[in-house]
Structure 1
Amino acid sequence: MASGGRAARLAPVVDMAESAEKAAAQRLGHFQGQVNLANSKLGDLENFRAEYQSQWVDRGSQGVSGQWLRSYQYFLNQLETAVSQQRQSLVWHENNLNKARETWQQAYARVEGLRKLVQRYADEARQLEDKREQKLMDELSQRLQRRDTL
């Protein structure tokens, strides 16, 4: 019965570990969403920059004023800055995602380890109980045989 008690005593620990693993999995999902969003924004900015640069070819073939060229260059520089900042943002979110993945993997491994331990304790308790039952059955069988032989 002591082994069964060990398994039962571990139940709150397993529950806490499962809660921590679930929270870590939710955090992992959140950061995956942030990476997806940052990646999408980066793609949008890069597409917009490519379209804006193609305007240079279209307008340039028609001739442009110095004012238009200065405005174009200024806005293109701002776009380059925005792309660069978005790349940094993506890297930051990817780092968070990697940390969250590590945390979740550790939490998952802890839960799995605890579950295996509880199962082992439960198996040991069951084996002990089976042995006790077998011993009782053997004793009862021996008593009955002695009674029958008397």
Structure 2
Amino acid sequence: MKKSQRMQVLVDLSQRKEEEVAKALAKDQARLQHDQQKLQELIDYAAQYDEQRNLLGLSPYLTTNYQHFVTRLQQAIKQQEQQVKRSEQQVNMALKRWQDARAKTKGMDWLKEKSIHEEVAFADKQEQKQIDEFSNRAFFQRMRS
């Protein structure tokens, strides 16, 4: 098996690994987008709820309930902000893994191409050597005749 063929096996394996890492990156990006959307929904809901309270005016009892609810809503927003940060970190790590995998694939492919060029150059030299030998034999045979 030629070196370029062995290198192709490594390139194929590297490409499969890169594809797996790319899928994981896409999954992490989708999770981040979902988490960001959920955070925005919570923020929008809190703003709408606050706006409604201002329009309606609340009794002291309802104001207390409102404060408890707003406190829980703010906690949910903070938790979701933390989740978004974790998701962003996951995406950044996944992106780094993909970049590393992509660089490895490119490197393997470059080595394979280099091997192909070396094999072609070697084959060309061998062919030229055979042509030279054939020419020399033909020349010596003509000289003998």
TM-score (norm 1): 0.90
Q: Please report how far the alpha carbon of residue 32 of structure 1 lies from its aligned counterpart in structure 2 after TM superposition.
A: 0.4
The percent of aligned pairs where both chains have the same amino acid is 29
| Gapped regions of structure 2 (runs ≥ 5) | none
In the alignment of these two chains, the number of paired residues is: 144
Work out which of the residue numbers 48, 56, 59 in structure 2 matches 1:65.
59
Match of 2:139 in 1: 145
Work out which of the residue numbers 111, 124, 132 in structure 2 matches 1:130.
124
1:40-79 equivalences in 2 (<5 Å) = 40-60=37-57, 64-79=58-73
**Residue type of the alignment partner of 1:59:** L
Distance in 2, Cα, partners of 1:9 & 1:51:
63
1:60-99 equivalences in 2 (<5 Å) = 60=57, 64-99=58-93
Match of 1:104 in 2: 98
Distance in 1, Cα, partners of 2:92 & 2:140:
71
1:1-40 equivalences in 2 (<5 Å) = 5-40=2-37
Structure 1: 4+ residue segments shifted above 4 A: none
Q: Please report how far the alpha carbon of residue 126 of structure 1 lies from its aligned counterpart in structure 2 after TM superposition.
A: 0.5
**Residue type of the alignment partner of 1:95:** Q
User: Which 10-residue stretch deviates more, 46-55 or 135-144?
Assistant: 135-144
**Residue type of the alignment partner of 1:30:** K
Distance in 2, Cα, partners of 1:142 & 1:12:
41
**Residue type of the alignment partner of 1:121:** S
Distance in 2, Cα, partners of 1:95 & 1:28:
12
Distance in 1, Cα, partners of 2:136 & 2:103:
49
Q: Please report how far the alpha carbon of residue 19 of structure 1 lies from its aligned counterpart in structure 2 after TM superposition.
A: 1.4
User: Which 10-residue stretch deviates more, 25-34 or 71-80?
Assistant: 71-80
Q: Deviations over 1:19-76 (max 9, x none)?
A: 111110000000000010001111111111110111122023xxx3111111111111
